A and B are shown apart, each in its own frame.
Chain A
Amino acid sequence: MIATRDAYGEALAELGGENDKIVALDADLSGSTKTGVFAKKFPNRFFNMGIAEANMVGTAAGLASVGKIPFLSTFAIFAAGRGWEQIRQSLAYPKANVKVVATHGGVTVGEDGGSHQSVEDIAIMRAIPNMTVIVPADGEETKGAIRAVAAYKGPVYVRLGRNKVANVFPAGHKFEIGKGNVVVEGKDLTFITTGLMTAQAVIAAEKLKEEGISARVLHLGTIKPLDKELVLKAAQETGAIVTAEEHSVVGGLGGAVAEFLGEECPTLMKRVGIYDRFGLSGKSDELLKYFGLNAETLIEQAREIVSRKK
């Protein structure tokens, strides 16, 4: 059990040793984002840009245009939020080879409160053409994803979390951009989940089995591009979809799945997430409960949607 940000720190430092084109940038949060691990190993290839996120994005674009592979990090709210238009214009529009790895996504930021909890970053990153959006479920997937995005040429947004999360994937898990993973097989409904909600869906699926409900868990580590094949298959084979994410229900994973299925295969659907509101201060676990981001909510939604199928 480790935090995805810790896995990132480890993976980035490892990649730094393999490829000297990799550089890292941070905005005065290198201890928290874990780019500090890379900075310690490769001080010359690390740029602390100070509390100046917009400039950090532009600088990364410049570094990429002369052949470097920049990874830039800060909290999700400041990366996707403060840096949004720079990401759009300087990274996505020219297809710059820059990896925006944002930590402290979602409400598990905790006590810092609503100003620091990004509940809309997946949506605003996903809306930008040319962007790839990745939200790993655990440390192992994060390590694989960081390796994959380093090898991929183009702009990527990776959203990581603050707290330790349960393992979903085995050590050495291979990550493929754009490919989902069926973590649990099932036929009555499918939980389509991302980030820390996948572990909750696995718990929910086990409990539902005891009630005779067979729930599939489809984890989407990549939200954009969407794994249309697996989503369509889930809709056709199980006939009911419950999405879940530590993010607003507007425009994120639930939005992406609804947009796609609405056109290709209208299916009974429920979205678990934050219902169009800001976060607030509290302990991470209290907030997850407060927003219903847990297995209990998934079980309730599953029961309801399965009953509606009949």
Chain B
Amino acid sequence: MKEKIADLEEKARRLRVAIVKTLHKSQSGHTGGSLSAIDMVCALYFHKMRHNPQDPSWEGRDRFVLSKGHAAPALYVTLAECGYFPSEDLMMLRRLGSHLQGHPDSKGTPGVDVCTGSLGQGLSMANGMALGFKLDGKDNRVYAVLGDGELQEGQIWEAAMAAGHYKSDNLCALIDSNGLQIDGDVSKVMNVASIGDKFKAFGWNVIEIDGHDMGQIISALDQAEAHKGAPTAIVAKTVKGKGVHLFENKASYHGVTPNDEELPEALRCLGCCD
């Protein structure tokens, strides 16, 4: 177990390096929210989800919905690391003609199942998938990653109500609770606290964790899978920009990419010498 956690931590470190390099190259995209979500995305793809990079449309695969679609770089570097497409593609992020669109696009990118980017819509689609799997008697699971600012969208709570109502225990929502959105602190812009209590009120199983502690992430994911009769919400306390002190806890790095001066320091923080 210890080894497994250390492995995942090393993977996550490498994925952070890839995020920073990708965003430095594109000079457009979302740094903070990609770095806050990456530990959870890493644990999902390299520990929890059943999926097959050689066969992206394999019927038995679990589904991943990046409801906070602006964290696309976190998903793209992970898919590349899994082998869904060559990592050279990352250098084409957001370029004209690239399959790596600014926000996830299922029409072009292998391994991407849903189009997201307009916040608030992902949890509904994830619950729809979960209901469909149940209808077919299948045991595929569905995972959705949400932003804490994103929780301000009313549709999130319509989806929470529906998933609780239909007891979608094959659905797990992971909330990247980094406390920031574009205009500043979530608590100041439009307070969404207490997130766990809100999901509980809609009949969800709620687990609160440190979203950068790999041991806590995988144990929460295992508990979510074991929990029957209700969907699970993993409320993960995270740090926006995690891993690079230049970007940590700064709303200003929401949609700003590492520049030439910041790149060496960012890579150094991530234990990268090349």
Contacts and interface: CB of A to CB of B under 8 A. Distances in A.
A281 B98 contact: yes
B96 A287 contact: yes
A81 B118 contact: yes
A48 B154 contact: no
Interface stretch (A110-118, A126-134, A175-183, A243-251): A110-118
Contacts of A152: none
Interface string A227-268: 000000000000000000000000000000000000000000
Given A28-B149, A49-B190, A114-B105, A282 B183 contact: no
A28 B151 CA distance: 13
Interface in A40-56: 48-52, 54-55
B243 interface: no
Contact of A113 (B103, B149, B154): B103
A51 B69 contact: no
A30 B190 contact: no
B152 A51 contact: yes
A119 to B, nearest CB: 14
Nearest to B181: A28
Q: How large is the interface on B (under 10, 10 to 19, 20 to 34, 35 or more residues)?
A: 20 to 34
Contacts, number: 90
B101 A113 contact: yes
A78 B150 CA distance: 13
Contacts of A28: 149, 152, 181-183, 189-190
A111 B94 contact: yes
B241 interface: no
B154 A111 contact: no
Given A111-B94, A280-B96, A282-B96, A50 B152 contact: yes
Interface residues on A, range: 20 to 34
A29 interface: yes
B117 interface: yes
Contacts of B101: 113-115, 280-281
B95 A281 contact: yes
Contacts of A51: 119-120, 149-150, 152-153, 181, 190
B96 A112 contact: no
A52 to B, nearest CB: 5
A286 interface: yes
A290 B96 CA distance: 9
Interface string B105-121: 10000000001111110
Interface in B144-183: 149-150, 152-154, 181-183
A115 B189 contact: no
Contacts of B105: 113-115
A283 interface: yes
A115 B103 contact: yes
B52 interface: no
A230 to B, nearest CB: 37
A31 interface: yes
Contacts of B149: 28, 50-51
A156 to B, nearest CB: 24
Contacts of A31: 182-183
A52 B102 contact: no
Contacts of A286: 96
A48 B103 contact: no
A209 interface: no
B102 A112 contact: yes
A28 B181 CA distance: 7
B94 A48 contact: no
Contacts of A101: none
Nearest to B116: A115
Interface of A: 26, 28-32, 48-52, 54-55, 77-78, 81-82, 110-116, 280-283, 286-287, 290
28 contacts: A28-B183, A28-B189, A28-B190, A48-B189, A48-B190, A50-B152, A50-B181, A50-B192, A51-B150, A52-B190, A54-B154, A81-B118, A110-B28, A111-B29, A111-B94, A112-B102, A112-B103, A112-B117, A113-B103, A115-B69, A115-B102, A116-B117, A116-B118, A281-B95, A281-B102, A282-B95, A282-B96, A283-B96
Given A51-B190, A115-B103, 7 more contacts: A30-B183, A31-B182, A50-B149, A51-B150, A111-B102, A112-B102, A281-B102
Interface of B: 26, 28-29, 69, 94-98, 100-103, 105, 115-120, 149-150, 152-154, 181-183, 189-190, 192
